[in-house]
Structure 1
Amino acid sequence: MTILIADDDADDRLFMERALRQSGYTHTIQFVEDGEELMEYLRHTGRYTKETAPWPNLLVLDLNMPRKNGFQALKEIKDDMELRRLPVVVMTTSSADEDVLKTYHLGVNSFVTKPFNFNRLVEMVIALKTYWLDTVKLP
């Protein structure tokens, strides 16, 4: 099992990793820092190969990233016949209705707002992990 997290904020990446580990997740966690790097990871281009970039079981995607933002990356993923089967959870600081609507229009599987409290983040990660990795059957 691999979770891929696309987030440009180093603190957020660290908190997500800690929350995942505290939730009991023991599998692979991969990180990319922006939408361009995300697409290279998924397409095994640039510095990424099939050996260094295993296919993720779940993508956790931030919206506000440099070079290619989360909206652009999500559209590219869902427009690609090979990549569109990847479950994508947007996790962002935004709770704006227009962001929620736009991501669902683009094909996101879930939208959650990042909590500002670490304990709440752990609770959210447990729920995401339980649902996406333990409950549903993924392709």
Structure 2
Amino acid sequence: MITSFLKPILVVEDSVEDFTALGRVFRKQALPNPLLRCEDGDQALEYLQGYGKHPGWPPTLPAFVLLDLNLPGTDGRTVLGILKQDPRLQSIPVIIFSTSSSSHDVEECYRLGANSYLTKPIEYASLEEKMQVLVSYWLKASELPPMSQA
């Protein structure tokens, strides 16, 4: 909705290829939100916990976080747990976007507070379809909580 119109979309993804494909899909959808990439969990936490303080990062929190599970350093499960324990950050929707379709991973992520769990498709057309549904739901249909500015 309007509260998320120009908030960035945070993609926490270590794979350049996956991030490039996501960027291509979002551009094709004419997504107005800026796309922000963090390459690992530590960088994502640095941005989210210190938003507005780093000159190269947006001064607002993201509309939602697209979070890979298997990251170098601090992994996605740990990032998810930290975000959902932090009163300032816990209302940000976190969508897990992983190659794992393990029921253990899915259950663990929902237990930690994930708002959604999506398995990365192999085919580009399937990626386009999944991202279209994701954007439509989280940025058009869903009412997101207002988030403070820096």
Q: Given the two structures, how large is their TM-score scaled by the length of structure 1?
A: 0.94
Residues 44 and 50, structure 1, Cα contact 8 Å, conserved in 2? no
Superimposed CA distance per residue, residues 28-62 of structure 1 (whole angstroms, 9 cap, x where no aligned partner): 000000110000010227xx527723310010000
Distance 2:104 2:47 in 1: 28
1:1-139 equivalences under 5 Å are 1=6, 2-44=8-50, 49=54, 52-53=57-58, 54-139=60-145
The CA deviation at 1:64 is: 0.3
Aligned residues: 138
Distance 2:33 2:116 in 1: 21
The CA deviation at 1:26 is: 2.5
Stretches of structure 1 lacking an aligned partner (at least 5 in a row): none
Residues 3 and 57, structure 1, Cα contact 8 Å, conserved in 2? yes
Distance 2:14 2:126 in 1: 21
Distance 1:107 1:49 in 2: 27
Q: Given the two structures, how large is their TM-score scaled by the length of structure 2?
A: 0.87
Distance 1:121 1:79 in 2: 30
Distance 1:27 1:60 in 2: 13
Q: Percent identity?
A: 34
The CA deviation at 1:27 is: 2.0
Distance 2:116 2:14 in 1: 20
Distance 2:72 2:21 in 1: 20
**Counterpart code for 1:108:** A
Alpha-carbon RMSD:
1.6
Secondary structure at 2:35's aligned position in 1? strand
Distance 1:26 1:80 in 2: 28
